[in-house]
Structure 1
Amino acid sequence: MDLNAEQILNMGLRDASKIFSGDEKADKKSFRTLAARWHPDHCQDPKAADVFAKLVTLRDAARGEPSMLVTRYIFTKADGRRQAMRTLSKHETDIGTLLVGPISVAQIFDADLLDIAEAELRNLSGFKFADTKMEDQMRKFLPRNKSRVDLVDGKTLITHSRQNGEVLLADLLSGDGPMEPVHAAWLCSGLMNIAAWLTWAGKVHGAIGPDTVMVDPKTHAVRLVAGWGFATDVGTRPVLLPNRSLQIAPQMAVKDMTADPSLDLELIRRTTCEAMGAASLSQLSGLGLPEPIRNWLMLPPGKDGIADYSKWQKALTDAWGVRRFAKYTGNGAGVYAL
């Protein structure tokens, strides 16, 4: 069947059998033939990337496999070669573009923010730990397997791996809606683990929020995957901070103001509130929060992430008693599925 771009793009999942029979061997042959025509690396049709992504979706549907809502993002390397990335979501951020793919997370830094891209790479390479035990405990909270590609127009692409089942917090909240307090609690616990480590390491991240955090709702895993280009040493002034951070902590806009752990601790409180659907601390009253949790969120943080983490642990115990695993009943990473 010889179909044009519009015909393929207008096909629904029920039409997959018109191209793919469901027989693995036959479908492989059909897909290779179609890929030879529509792969965006060599097809000049402006809709080639969308068509190729749709073909992948139709093939998976014919197999009876759950399909993710995948598009293809095409970028051009500094040497002129084009490269495609399968993407599940795309977000415009203060540094450029954030892409979440099936197996990777990518940040495209604008040309005028090359220094932030360089700082991101330095910080990702400079994580320090007291010993192998601390490293084993903390690596799961941090980006993994970074790589860099220089793009045309002076832009920089930094990618690292996405773990199976992970979803960007912003995408989870957009797809599933606000989290119940017991689930916002494990999110906060993960972020407070990171804050305690940052305090020990003498670092301030400065950009903790829904578009820098990945979570796996099924396992309660939390990772701080982006925004490391804003990180700075405690006691120094950040070169740049995201607009969201400056709105939450406007004192950081004052000349000569230096960073301390209270910035990250405030960002974690606000991120936890936002996860529950509260845009500010004043909106917490209607969420049915246990008093110890509400009090911890509303009290101004100190300047010690380790001490604040201990207070958070006490608030959890006072609120819910012995720790129990709360099963997440939303879609989780399924928010990326059709």
Structure 2
Amino acid sequence: MVDINNPQGILAAVKCGDLYSNHPLKAKEEYRLLVQKYHPDRNKETMAEDVFLKIRDLYAQAEILFESGQWEESNVIEFKTKEDKFKRLKFIKEFPFELGQQYVASSVVVYVLEAEHKRYFENAIKRVSSLRYENQAMEDEFERYFPKFIDKFETAEGKWVLVIKKTKDLVRLHDLLDYYLGRIEPRHVAWMLSRLGNICCYLDYNGLVHNGISLENCFVSPENHAIALFGGWWYCVGQGEKMLGTQKQIYDVMGPLTKTNKTGSITTDLESIKLIGRVLLNKAQVPDSYQAWLEKGAADSARKEFLRWNKVLRNSYGVRKFMRMEVGEKEVYSL
């Protein structure tokens, strides 16, 4: 809800639920307090009259909705499942993607796939559940980078919903890039590329190709220098298996042979990572070996590429140092 001490925030409110609680008596008391604070006869601030009108209009809207039982609130979506159960989500941001809609909240990421994409929904669940680990140490290291489905269901209208657990320190990589106005400092990009390369090594170990490693599907923790790959699993296939699809920007960097054969190849994921690096840097000046690696074609195995990258890092920056990134969910999403 809006901060009632912020007149501009009140003016920006769109729905009655942005200002009032979803309970008639509580909303009435909130309205009374707001009127006391912003009535032009008491408040001589220049914005007071406009704020008062907004308060009054939204309360009138609230009374109508209380009567009809149809409450409205910004950044809230309610799902009705096929079993006639209701699930409510308060989200921070929503984004369209090629198969449906994505919702980012503090504790979850939700993907809603359109009805015709059932096979992608099922493939995501299948591929994530198939991930294997050589030992407990490997599991402890990698499982936090991949989706943990806390709910999955079909809606009454036939859409397919995946609910993935998320920690507050994780923000969508695309949103982090927007926060930095389209360019991230090269040393920070370097640790992100290292984390993605590590994920690729694990996928290669499992014989998988993700086919969806992108700014939209990766979530980054600036605080902990970690990256989680939450989206895109609907495109994941075994190496050598027929591809199910990919995003356009990934298709554009796929090798000619992969495009011809239309089969899963780890080089697709490796080229996707290099693409991410180029986009995050946005032509920023980097050491020559760094730039050469970004432009060179990917190796035929994730391990080979990771070894190449480690050599590039040593040549570019010497001994690794932890660089703090003073930004998080609050800053990125203006909370």
Give the TM-score normalised by the residue count of structure 2: 0.78
* Residue 91 (structure 1) aligns with: 95
Secondary structure (helix, strand or coil) at the match of 1:146 reads strand
Q: Is the 8 A contact 1:140 1:223 kept in 2?
A: yes
Secondary structure (helix, strand or coil) at the match of 1:92 reads strand
Shift of 1:75: 2.6
Q: In 2, Cα distance between the equivalents of 1:31 and 1:273?
A: 53
* Residue 288 (structure 1) aligns with: 285
For residue 145 of structure 2, the aligned residue among 138, 141, 146 is 141
Q: Which amino acid aligns with 2:191?
A: W
* Residue 272 (structure 1) aligns with: 277
* Residue 170 (structure 1) aligns with: 174
Shift of 1:187: 0.9
Shift of 1:219: 1.4
Q: In 2, Cα distance between the equivalents of 1:87 and 1:44?
A: 25
**Are residue 262 (structure 1) and residue 262 (structure 2) matched?**
no
Q: In 2, Cα distance between the equivalents of 1:291 and 1:337?
A: 36
Shift of 1:73: 2.0
Q: In 2, Cα distance between the equivalents of 1:214 and 1:274?
A: 16
Q: In 2, Cα distance between the equivalents of 1:132 and 1:9?
A: 45
Shift of 1:250: 6.7
Q: Which amino acid aligns with 1:189?
A: S
Identity of aligned residues (%): 20
Q: 1:16 and 1:9, CA in 2 relative to 1: closer, same or farther beyond 3 A?
A: closer
Alignment of 1:70-85 (within 5 A): 71-85=75-89
* Residue 49 (structure 1) aligns with: 73
Q: Point out which structure has higher relative CO (alpha carbons under 8 A, 6+ apart).
A: 1
Q: Which amino acid aligns with 1:151?
A: T
Give the TM-score normalised by the residue count of structure 1: 0.78
For residue 101 of structure 1, the aligned residue among 102, 105, 108 is 105
CA offset digits 1:275-317 (Å, max 9, x no partner): 223xxxxxx3xx1101121111111001100111111111111
Q: Is the 8 A contact 1:94 1:242 kept in 2?
A: yes
Q: 1:90 and 1:101, CA in 2 relative to 1: closer, same or farther beyond 3 A?
A: same
* Structure 1: runs of 5 or more not aligned: 1-7, 18-27, 51-70, 278-283
CA offset digits 1:95-149 (Å, max 9, x no partner): 1111111110010011111000000011121111111111111112212243202
Shift of 1:331: 5.3
Larger Rg computed on CA atoms:
2
**Are residue 245 (structure 1) and residue 250 (structure 2) matched?**
yes
**Are residue 13 (structure 1) and residue 6 (structure 2) matched?**
yes
Q: Is the 8 A contact 1:77 1:149 kept in 2?
A: yes
Shift of 1:326: 1.0
Secondary structure (helix, strand or coil) at the match of 2:309 reads helix
Q: Which amino acid aligns with 1:219?
A: N
Q: 1:193 and 1:10, CA in 2 relative to 1: closer, same or farther beyond 3 A?
A: closer
Shift of 1:186: 1.1
The more displaced of 300-309 and 239-248 is: 239-248
Q: In 1, Cα distance between the equivalents of 2:25 and 2:180?
A: 36
* Residue 224 (structure 2) aligns with: 219
- After the TM superposition, which segments of 4 or more aligned residues of structure 1 sit over 3 Å from their partners? 8-12, 14-17, 34-38, 41-47, 79-82, 250-256, 329-333
The more displaced of 173-182 and 139-148 is: 139-148
The more displaced of 110-119 and 120-129 is: 120-129
Secondary structure (helix, strand or coil) at the match of 2:127 reads helix
Q: Is the 8 A contact 1:216 1:332 kept in 2?
A: no
How many positions carry a matched residue from both structures? 292
Please give the root-mean-square deviation of Cα atoms over the aligned residues, in Å: 3.1
* Structure 2: runs of 5 or more not aligned: 11-20, 30-58
